[in-house]
Amino acid sequence: MTFGSRLVAAIADRGPFCVGIDPHAALLQAWGYGDDLTGLERFALGAVEAVAPHCSVIKPQAAFYERFGSKGVAVLERVIAEARAAGALVLLDIKRGDIGSTSQAYADAYLDPASPLASDAVTVTPYLGFGSLQPFVDTALKHDAGLFVLAATSNPEGPEVQQAVVEGGRTVSATVLDHLARLNAGADPLGSFGAVVGATLADDRGLDFGFNGPILAPGYGEQGGTTDDIRRIFGAGARNVIPTSSRGVLRLGPDAGAMQAAVRRANDELRELLG
Protein backbone atom coordinates (compact mmCIF):
# COMPACT_ATOMS: atom_id res chain seq x y z
CA MET A 1 0.00 0.00 0.00
CA THR A 2 1.13 3.55 -0.68
CA PHE A 3 1.59 5.91 2.24
CA GLY A 4 -1.54 7.78 1.19
CA SER A 5 -3.58 4.57 1.29
CA ARG A 6 -2.16 3.57 4.67
CA LEU A 7 -2.88 7.01 6.05
CA VAL A 8 -6.51 6.99 4.92
CA ALA A 9 -6.99 3.56 6.52
CA ALA A 10 -5.31 4.64 9.77
CA ILE A 11 -7.44 7.79 10.04
CA ALA A 12 -10.62 5.79 9.40
CA ASP A 13 -9.63 3.41 12.19
CA ARG A 14 -8.20 5.80 14.79
CA GLY A 15 -9.01 9.37 13.78
CA PRO A 16 -6.85 12.12 12.25
CA PHE A 17 -5.14 13.46 15.39
CA CYS A 18 -1.33 13.29 15.40
CA VAL A 19 0.77 13.49 18.57
CA GLY A 20 4.29 14.91 18.45
CA ILE A 21 6.75 13.10 20.74
CA ASP A 22 8.99 16.10 21.43
CA PRO A 23 11.15 15.77 24.55
CA HIS A 24 11.53 19.45 25.44
CA ALA A 25 13.71 20.03 28.48
CA ALA A 26 10.75 21.69 30.22
CA LEU A 27 8.55 18.65 29.61
CA LEU A 28 11.18 16.30 30.97
CA GLN A 29 11.30 18.44 34.09
CA ALA A 30 7.50 18.54 34.32
CA TRP A 31 7.44 14.75 34.32
CA GLY A 32 9.99 14.75 37.16
CA TYR A 33 12.83 13.55 34.94
CA GLY A 34 16.30 14.96 34.43
CA ASP A 35 17.28 16.64 31.18
CA ASP A 36 19.62 13.79 30.37
CA LEU A 37 19.70 10.54 28.40
CA THR A 38 17.87 8.58 31.09
CA GLY A 39 15.14 11.20 31.26
CA LEU A 40 14.87 11.27 27.47
CA GLU A 41 14.45 7.51 27.27
CA ARG A 42 11.86 7.29 30.07
CA PHE A 43 9.89 10.23 28.68
CA ALA A 44 9.89 9.27 25.01
CA LEU A 45 9.18 5.59 25.44
CA GLY A 46 6.59 6.27 28.12
CA ALA A 47 4.77 8.68 25.82
CA VAL A 48 4.86 6.19 22.94
CA GLU A 49 3.51 3.41 25.14
CA ALA A 50 0.66 5.66 26.28
CA VAL A 51 -0.51 7.20 23.00
CA ALA A 52 0.81 5.23 20.00
CA PRO A 53 -1.88 2.52 20.26
CA HIS A 54 -4.55 5.24 20.02
CA CYS A 55 -3.15 7.56 17.30
CA SER A 56 -3.12 7.23 13.55
CA VAL A 57 0.17 9.16 13.36
CA ILE A 58 3.06 9.75 15.77
CA LYS A 59 5.46 12.61 14.92
CA PRO A 60 8.82 12.63 16.71
CA GLN A 61 10.87 15.81 16.23
CA ALA A 62 14.39 14.52 15.56
CA ALA A 63 16.19 17.56 17.00
CA PHE A 64 15.12 16.78 20.56
CA TYR A 65 16.82 13.40 20.29
CA GLU A 66 19.87 14.51 18.32
CA ARG A 67 20.82 16.99 21.05
CA PHE A 68 21.88 13.96 23.14
CA GLY A 69 24.20 12.66 20.42
CA SER A 70 24.35 9.11 19.13
CA LYS A 71 22.66 7.64 22.21
CA GLY A 72 19.78 10.07 21.77
CA VAL A 73 19.42 8.94 18.15
CA ALA A 74 19.33 5.35 19.42
CA VAL A 75 16.34 6.34 21.56
CA LEU A 76 14.71 7.84 18.46
CA GLU A 77 15.21 4.53 16.66
CA ARG A 78 13.32 2.79 19.48
CA VAL A 79 10.55 5.41 19.39
CA ILE A 80 10.07 4.78 15.67
CA ALA A 81 10.10 1.00 16.04
CA GLU A 82 7.78 0.87 19.05
CA ALA A 83 5.30 3.38 17.61
CA ARG A 84 5.03 1.35 14.42
CA ALA A 85 4.70 -1.87 16.42
CA ALA A 86 1.74 -0.24 18.21
CA GLY A 87 0.04 0.31 14.86
CA ALA A 88 0.75 4.03 14.41
CA LEU A 89 2.26 5.54 11.30
CA VAL A 90 5.47 7.45 12.02
CA LEU A 91 6.00 10.88 10.50
CA LEU A 92 9.57 11.85 11.36
CA ASP A 93 9.89 15.62 11.65
CA ILE A 94 13.33 16.39 10.21
CA LYS A 95 12.72 19.27 7.75
CA ARG A 96 15.72 18.26 5.68
CA GLY A 97 16.56 19.84 2.35
CA ASP A 98 19.70 19.68 0.23
CA ILE A 99 20.79 18.86 -3.30
CA GLY A 100 22.09 15.90 -5.26
CA SER A 101 23.83 13.07 -3.46
CA THR A 102 23.36 14.71 -0.06
CA SER A 103 19.61 14.86 -0.58
CA GLN A 104 19.70 11.22 -1.61
CA ALA A 105 21.64 10.29 1.52
CA TYR A 106 19.03 11.98 3.70
CA ALA A 107 16.27 10.17 1.82
CA ASP A 108 18.01 6.81 2.30
CA ALA A 109 18.54 7.50 6.01
CA TYR A 110 14.88 8.19 6.74
CA LEU A 111 12.84 6.37 4.08
CA ASP A 112 14.77 3.22 3.13
CA PRO A 113 13.46 0.26 5.18
CA ALA A 114 17.07 -0.93 5.56
CA SER A 115 17.78 2.07 7.83
CA PRO A 116 17.05 1.91 11.57
CA LEU A 117 15.55 5.40 11.24
CA ALA A 118 13.17 4.43 8.44
CA SER A 119 9.76 6.04 8.89
CA ASP A 120 6.47 6.08 7.02
CA ALA A 121 6.96 9.73 6.05
CA VAL A 122 9.20 12.73 6.71
CA THR A 123 8.98 16.51 6.60
CA VAL A 124 11.17 18.28 4.03
CA THR A 125 11.87 21.86 3.00
CA PRO A 126 11.61 22.95 -0.67
CA TYR A 127 13.51 26.23 -0.39
CA LEU A 128 16.46 25.08 -2.48
CA GLY A 129 13.89 24.72 -5.25
CA PHE A 130 11.24 22.01 -5.41
CA GLY A 131 13.37 20.07 -7.88
CA SER A 132 16.01 19.58 -5.19
CA LEU A 133 13.53 17.23 -3.47
CA GLN A 134 13.57 14.76 -6.38
CA PRO A 135 15.74 12.21 -4.52
CA PHE A 136 13.20 12.27 -1.68
CA VAL A 137 10.34 11.90 -4.15
CA ASP A 138 11.98 8.99 -5.96
CA THR A 139 12.87 7.22 -2.72
CA ALA A 140 9.37 7.73 -1.31
CA LEU A 141 7.87 6.23 -4.47
CA LYS A 142 10.30 3.31 -4.35
CA HIS A 143 9.43 2.43 -0.75
CA ASP A 144 5.76 3.50 -0.61
CA ALA A 145 6.63 6.26 1.85
CA GLY A 146 5.36 9.83 2.11
CA LEU A 147 6.64 13.40 2.22
CA PHE A 148 5.25 16.51 3.89
CA VAL A 149 6.65 19.63 2.25
CA LEU A 150 6.73 22.99 4.05
CA ALA A 151 4.23 25.25 2.30
CA ALA A 152 2.58 27.84 4.57
CA THR A 153 3.89 27.85 8.12
CA SER A 154 2.45 30.08 10.82
CA ASN A 155 5.73 31.44 12.23
CA PRO A 156 5.97 35.21 11.67
CA GLU A 157 9.16 34.92 9.60
CA GLY A 158 7.62 32.55 7.05
CA PRO A 159 5.79 34.95 4.74
CA GLU A 160 8.95 36.75 3.56
CA VAL A 161 9.80 33.57 1.63
CA GLN A 162 6.51 31.72 1.35
CA GLN A 163 4.48 34.72 0.17
CA ALA A 164 7.11 35.94 -2.28
CA VAL A 165 5.79 36.05 -5.85
CA VAL A 166 7.53 34.04 -8.56
CA GLU A 167 7.35 34.25 -12.34
CA GLY A 168 3.75 33.97 -13.43
CA GLY A 169 2.39 35.78 -10.38
CA ARG A 170 2.05 32.73 -8.10
CA THR A 171 3.36 32.81 -4.54
CA VAL A 172 6.03 30.36 -3.44
CA SER A 173 3.46 28.59 -1.23
CA ALA A 174 1.02 28.22 -4.12
CA THR A 175 3.81 26.92 -6.34
CA VAL A 176 4.68 24.25 -3.76
CA LEU A 177 1.04 23.10 -3.78
CA ASP A 178 1.08 23.06 -7.59
CA HIS A 179 4.05 20.68 -7.52
CA LEU A 180 2.27 18.48 -4.98
CA ALA A 181 -0.86 18.38 -7.14
CA ARG A 182 1.20 17.05 -10.04
CA LEU A 183 2.85 14.40 -7.85
CA ASN A 184 -0.54 13.28 -6.50
CA ALA A 185 -2.39 13.29 -9.82
CA GLY A 186 -4.51 10.16 -10.21
CA ALA A 187 -3.73 8.80 -6.73
CA ASP A 188 -6.63 7.06 -5.03
CA PRO A 189 -7.86 7.38 -2.32
CA LEU A 190 -5.18 10.01 -1.49
CA GLY A 191 -1.74 10.95 -2.70
CA SER A 192 1.38 10.36 -0.61
CA PHE A 193 2.85 13.85 -1.02
CA GLY A 194 1.52 16.28 1.57
CA ALA A 195 1.98 19.86 2.70
CA VAL A 196 2.74 21.46 6.06
CA VAL A 197 0.32 24.32 6.69
CA GLY A 198 -0.09 25.99 10.07
CA ALA A 199 -3.37 25.56 11.95
CA THR A 200 -3.04 29.10 13.30
CA LEU A 201 -2.83 31.05 10.04
CA ALA A 202 -4.83 34.26 10.01
CA ASP A 203 -6.37 33.24 6.68
CA ASP A 204 -5.95 30.67 3.91
CA ARG A 205 -3.43 32.92 2.05
CA GLY A 206 -5.44 32.35 -1.12
CA LEU A 207 -4.19 28.77 -1.38
CA ASP A 208 -6.00 25.90 -3.08
CA PHE A 209 -5.88 22.89 -0.78
CA GLY A 210 -7.42 20.51 -3.29
CA PHE A 211 -4.05 19.01 -4.30
CA ASN A 212 -5.14 15.43 -3.47
CA GLY A 213 -2.68 15.02 -0.64
CA PRO A 214 -2.60 15.11 3.17
CA ILE A 215 -2.06 18.33 5.11
CA LEU A 216 -0.08 18.34 8.35
CA ALA A 217 -1.40 21.20 10.49
CA PRO A 218 0.89 22.06 13.43
CA GLY A 219 -0.36 24.41 16.10
CA TYR A 220 -3.60 22.61 16.93
CA GLY A 221 -4.64 22.68 20.59
CA GLU A 222 -2.09 24.12 23.01
CA GLN A 223 -0.74 26.62 20.45
CA GLY A 224 -4.17 28.04 19.74
CA GLY A 225 -5.43 26.21 16.65
CA THR A 226 -9.02 24.97 16.90
CA THR A 227 -11.42 22.83 14.89
CA ASP A 228 -13.05 26.09 13.75
CA ASP A 229 -9.66 27.24 12.44
CA ILE A 230 -9.30 24.04 10.46
CA ARG A 231 -12.71 24.58 8.87
CA ARG A 232 -11.92 28.27 8.22
CA ILE A 233 -8.47 27.77 6.71
CA PHE A 234 -8.88 24.55 4.74
CA GLY A 235 -12.53 24.52 3.69
CA ALA A 236 -13.29 21.39 1.68
CA GLY A 237 -9.65 20.32 2.13
CA ALA A 238 -10.27 19.86 5.87
CA ARG A 239 -11.06 16.18 5.29
CA ASN A 240 -7.36 15.61 4.47
CA VAL A 241 -5.96 17.53 7.44
CA ILE A 242 -3.86 15.87 10.15
CA PRO A 243 -3.88 18.27 13.11
CA THR A 244 -0.89 17.77 15.35
CA SER A 245 -0.07 18.72 18.92
CA SER A 246 2.77 17.86 21.27
CA ARG A 247 2.59 19.85 24.49
CA GLY A 248 -1.21 19.74 24.67
CA VAL A 249 -0.99 15.99 25.26
CA LEU A 250 2.46 15.47 26.75
CA ARG A 251 2.04 18.08 29.50
CA LEU A 252 -0.50 15.64 31.04
CA GLY A 253 2.15 12.97 31.53
CA PRO A 254 3.43 10.81 32.91
CA ASP A 255 -0.25 9.96 33.54
CA ALA A 256 -0.94 7.59 30.64
CA GLY A 257 -4.70 7.68 31.19
CA ALA A 258 -4.81 11.48 31.00
CA MET A 259 -2.79 11.49 27.78
CA GLN A 260 -5.02 8.83 26.23
CA ALA A 261 -8.14 10.79 27.22
CA ALA A 262 -6.72 13.90 25.52
CA VAL A 263 -6.14 11.93 22.32
CA ARG A 264 -9.70 10.58 22.41
CA ARG A 265 -11.16 14.05 22.96
CA ALA A 266 -9.19 15.49 20.06
CA ASN A 267 -10.23 12.69 17.72
CA ASP A 268 -13.88 13.02 18.77
CA GLU A 269 -13.82 16.77 18.07
CA LEU A 270 -12.17 16.25 14.70
CA ARG A 271 -14.52 13.45 13.69
CA GLU A 272 -17.46 15.72 14.48
CA LEU A 273 -15.91 18.46 12.35
CA LEU A 274 -15.29 16.14 9.41
CA GLY A 275 -18.60 14.31 9.71
Query: What amino acid positions are annotated as catalytic residues?
Result: 95
CB atoms within 10 A of CB 113: 9
CA distance readout (Å), 143 to 44, 65, 102, 107, 273:
27, 25, 19, 11, 33
Among the listed residues 115, 138, 113, 111, the one whose alpha carbon sits nearest the alpha carbon of residue 123: 111
**Please, are residues 128 and 96 in contact by the beta-carbon 8 Å criterion?**
no
CA 130 to chain centre: 19
Among the listed residues 17, 43, 68, the one whose alpha carbon sits nearest the alpha carbon of residue 248: 17
The helix/strand count (H/E) of the chain reads as 12, 8
Helix (H/G/I), strand (E/B), else coil: 46:
helix
Distance CA 104, CA 112 (A): 11
